[in-house]
Structure 1
Amino acid sequence: MVEAFHGAGIQRAALFKPVGAEEIRDYPLSNEDRLDSHYFVPWERRRWLNSDMRLRGTAECRALYLDLIFISYDQSPVGTLPIDTDILARLVMVDPVHMRALCSLPYGPLHRWERCRCDGGEIRLMHPMVLRTLTEAIARKEDNRAKNEAANAAKRRQRLRITISGYAADLAKNDAALLFMDEWLVSQGCEYRSSAWVERALAAWSDHMLALTMRARSDRP
């Protein structure tokens, strides 16, 4: 994260330094990527305490710099900021003229923020450190969702196994049959697995096995 705060000593905000179109990165997150339940931001305090931004920036610039980072988490796309300094000034409750003066400093409020291309071609500002924390958070969110889905599927299949055992105890021990019927019920949009639905799943499994048997016979020389 050191690189998130260290720079060449020159303000890199696109508002003050012309950037060629070829230098504008595509922002990897879209307007659909949200972290609505993400109420905290992981912060590597030691790197921040020893960063150039903290050691060389003025107290006011440091405060606004942190404000803008936290504000970006509620923007769309998440982790970006508008490129208009007047809007940024309103967001941090600072006079626009004063904001522009601060941003012209080597370690101003927009230190290491750079232009990026978002959905629809909109040009906004992004920060590599903010983007990194967001991609890690989204990855954790996807991992948690996958784990929850796997746990829910296991519980759902266990309930189905118990129900099937009431019809055919041996069939309830057949993992392949259980998986087939569970997936069939899901594909049919079945939300409540009543006896009627379970019996349909049993019939679907029977039809499936019959089709496999007929295919095997037809493949014989």
Structure 2
Amino acid sequence: MSAKPHLQPVGTDDVFRYPIPLGVRLESHGWFQFHHAWWRTSDFRRDADRDVRGVFLDLLCASQDEDPVGTLPVSDSDLAWVARISLDEWMRLMARPITPLYGWTRCIVSDGRVRLYHPKLLTVTKSAAQSKVDAEQRRADDRERKRLKDLPERILRAGGSRRMSEDQSYVVRLDQVLCETLEPGTSRTVLRVKQAMEALDLASMGR
């Protein structure tokens, strides 16, 4: 049986733009919120066949490992693979009055491809993705605060003056030089700080 896309990608101007970009991975996201009240009272749960409901739930879970997270491919063969059923079985389910793609609709993802998303799932996926972004930003802010707190003492050890170590503007500029010249995770030794100070002095003289 030939596998054709269930939803043909037509004009994209009026297609929903999926807000979560490629590459956002939820490694610690071993679970996702499930709107059980919606599920319990939905027409889909009431009217769909049991095997269709099971594959629908499998698709919800599988979409969390897709890229962008929370989306599905469009072609029937790819969807059958994601659901871990044969293509023949998938096509039989897709011939039912209510299919496993109940509520799923087209979207355009950040690289221009057409994929499928489910509005209910997007709500919780956006929340999880934003939580990850917020956590990463907090960690970055904490690392920056620690760098700026430790740097004045290193300036003194590298031969800098007390005035230089207490000049917040100078400390921030020096931190930027170190961030640009050192590989992430590289220790800020006295020698490396001294070299960064010399580079900063040369840059200031060249203005």
TM-score for both structures, normalised by structure 2: 0.75
Q: Does residue 193 of structure 1 match 2:184?
A: no
Counterpart secondary structure, 2:91:
helix
Question: Which protein is bigger by CA-based radius of gyration?
Answer: 1
Q: Does residue 67 of structure 1 match 2:62?
A: no
Name whichever of 173-182 and 200-209 sits farther off.
Answer: 200-209
CA displacement 1:119-143 (0-9 Å, x = unmatched): 6654332222233333222222221
Report the counterpart of residue 175 of structure 2 in structure 1: 182
CA displacement 1:4-34 (0-9 Å, x = unmatched): xxxxxxxxxx827x78535533444444333
Name whichever of 70-79 and 26-35 sits farther off.
Answer: 26-35
Report the counterpart of residue 42 of structure 1 in structure 2: 33
Counterpart secondary structure, 1:40:
coil
CA distance, structure 1, for counterparts of residue 80 and residue 203 of structure 2: 65
Q: 2:117 aligns with which of 119, 126, 135?
A: 126
CA distance, structure 2, for counterparts of residue 19 and residue 159 of structure 1: 55
CA distance, structure 1, for counterparts of residue 115 and residue 75 of structure 2: 9
Contact 1:77-1:118 at 8 Å conserved across structures: yes
Name whichever of 84-93 and 40-49 sits farther off.
Answer: 84-93
Trace 1:76-115 onto structure 2 (pairs within 5 A): 76-115=67-106
Percent of aligned pairs sharing the same letter: 25
Q: 2:24 aligns with which of 29, 33, 57?
A: 33
> How big is the shift at 1:162?
2.0
CA distance, structure 2, for counterparts of residue 60 and residue 135 of structure 1: 28
Residues 178 and 50 of structure 1, relative CA distance in 2, 3 Å threshold: same
CA-atom RMSD in angstroms: 3.1
Contact 2:93-2:100 at 8 Å conserved across structures: yes
> How big is the shift at 1:51?
2.1
**Paired residues, what number?**
198
Q: Does residue 163 of structure 1 match 2:154?
A: yes
Report the counterpart of residue 139 of structure 1 in structure 2: 130
> How big is the shift at 1:146?
1.1
Counterpart secondary structure, 1:25:
coil
CA distance, structure 2, for counterparts of residue 208 and residue 163 of structure 1: 20
